[in-house]
Amino acid sequence: MYKKIFALILGSYLFFGISNTANAAWENHLRTNFLNNSTIIYTINIRTFNADDKNGNDIIEIEEGEISGNFVNAAERLEELKNKGITALHILPVTPVGKMKALGTAGSLYSAAGYNSLNPQLKDGNVDLSIEEQAKNFINKAHEKGLSIIVDVPACGSYDLFLQRPELFVQDRSGQPVIPSDWTDVRLLNAGDENKINNDVLKLYEEFVDYMISLGVDGIRADVAHSKPAGFWKELITYSRKQNPEFLWLAESSDSWDEAVSPEAVYTSYDKLLKAGFDGFYGSFFNLKNWKTSKEFQKNLEVILNLKKNTGEQKSVIGSFTTHDELSPILVKGETLSRMIIWLNATLPVNSYFVDGFDTGDNYLYKWENKKAEKTYTDDDDYFVHRGKIDLFNFSRKPGGNNKALEQEFITANNFKKTVLKIQKNGNFKFVKTSNPSVFAYYISDKNTAILVVGNLDFDKSYENIKVKVPKININKPVQAIKANSLPKINKGNINLNIKNGEIQVYLILDDKTISSLWGFARIK
């Protein structure tokens, strides 16, 4: 099957004229690509991305000669990501981290101790360049590979920063900074409200934007974006767009979130964030593991499908099925869920989104997790970690598993997404009925081609003779099984198939003319 897909992908590259950007001067087109749902985003933590854990105990012991991730060695993996079909990197925060009232032995990436400098932990001390020069070199090399760069801006500040600049923070009656939610290592920034913006915090974020643009960054992902007023974001996004109209803004927000992170915090809904200038948000895809019926699937996706109608502008989302805040799919429902996530990203009208280690099946279980540390660089002497989630708190091993089959499917699906981008952009998206409430189905079709996707949300039971009603698809066209073991039975607008527990199936339906002109080879048998 994969040989056929490879031929299909090769033909599509020739047809669409996808170019190698390695030798061209970099131009930022990230915002346009994102709004067209064409980005495939991979989230990395520079501090662990290419760490060298020589003794295999999952922690980086710097005093023993082990090497933590940094901007220099991170560049060594860029070719690997390019070959996997990645087009953009979401880099978790690179700001300095707080050391007081900290979590973990290195400090949380989201406990920002400043916004106008880089985390010194990310510098390679053996290279005679400043950390800014090392960061610029990394970003330039990413651009040479055709990879856009999105950097995370933390929503809060560290206790260290509060002691330096208390005017930036919400304070209680005793003058102490407010802890949002249960995030005990950070303090709530005071961005103001819709009546009055705190210009001190706005200036802090403007400095961050200037700094990121000077390094060559192409966009920003705003951590907990709903914790700041829409007017704040409108000012900041407008400020950035004056420098670069293609600068992307992605909001960590969801249509299923409706509460502030603290009684002292503001809450701004996702739709107001979009009107303030954000290009996209998360949606509610991380709830996939809880959906039981196709109706739940359809209800959640309709929010995405109606974005332009509801906002009056072109907006988009990421396929946030799994993020650094979510448990590894391997722990939730096994490899089957990972495969479903891969193909939903490839076929839904979303920007694909993955976390470092997802594609090789990492379960993010660390040998040392939540144990006493022999060495710490903060005031916390525990190896604090969120169990089953990528580590943000310590100098730890490089994420990754050893699931080669999953990795190959990841690559195949990413390339398939690139192959059918024009169909997805110009075609019509439609849910179709199935004979089982646990089985969802949708198709995207243009004049000559259709993509049909069928999935089983029941991860315990397999079903036989499922009827999928697709009356508008021409059943006389050749059907290619992209992600399925066999072709379904087709009869009078009904497609009959068997589907395993948690399985997702993908079919491509083309006419003879499309096969010969688009894919560049004879009919697929």
Q: What number does CATH give the domain 426-519? A: 2.60.40.1180
Chain-centroid distance, C-alpha 121: 24
- Asked if the model's pLDDT at residue 130 lies above 80, the reply is yes
* 149 within 8 A of 139, measured Cβ to Cβ: yes
Span 236-250, mean pLDDT? 98
Tens digit of pLDDT for each residue in 252-283? 999 999 999 999 999 999 999 999 999 999 98
Tens digit of pLDDT for each residue in 136-175? 999 999 999 999 999 999 999 999 999 999 999 999 999 9
Three-state DSSP string of 255-280:
CCCCCCCCCCCCCCCHHHHHHCCCCE
- Separation of alpha carbons 288 and 234, rounded Å: 31
* 153 within 8 A of 221, measured Cβ to Cβ: yes
pLDDT band, residue 489 (cuts 50/70/90): confident
Q: Angle between the 131-144 and 199-215 helix axes, to the nearest 10 degrees?
A: 60
pTM for the complete prediction? 0.93
Tens digit of pLDDT for each residue in 281-311? 998 999 999 999 999 999 999 999 999 888 8
Phi-psi region of 352 (alpha: psi -120 to 50; beta: other; left: phi over 0): beta
CATH 2.60.40.1180 residue spans of the chain: 426-519
Angstrom CA distances, 165 to 102, 155, 199, 211, stand at 18, 16, 14, 19
Could you say which of 3.20.20.80, 3.30.70.20, 1.10.3720.10, 3.40.640.10 is the CATH number of the domain covering 2-419? 3.20.20.80
Between 512 and 498, where is the model more confident? 498
- Asked if the model's pLDDT at residue 103 lies above 50, the reply is yes
For residue 92, which of 115, 77, 108 has the smallest C-alpha distance?
A: 108
- Asked if the model's pLDDT at residue 114 lies above 70, the reply is yes
pLDDT at 525: 27
Tens digit of pLDDT for each residue in 32-62? 999 999 999 999 999 999 999 999 999 999 9
Span 237-244, mean pLDDT? 97
- Asked if the model's pLDDT at residue 21 lies above 50, the reply is no
* 292 within 8 A of 457, measured Cβ to Cβ: yes
pLDDT at 17: 36
CATH 3.20.20.80 residue spans of the chain: 2-419
Span 312-330, mean pLDDT? 96
Q: What is the mean pLDDT of the chain?
A: 91
What proportion of the chain, given as a percentage, has pLDDT over 70?
A: 91
* 416 within 8 A of 9, measured Cβ to Cβ: yes
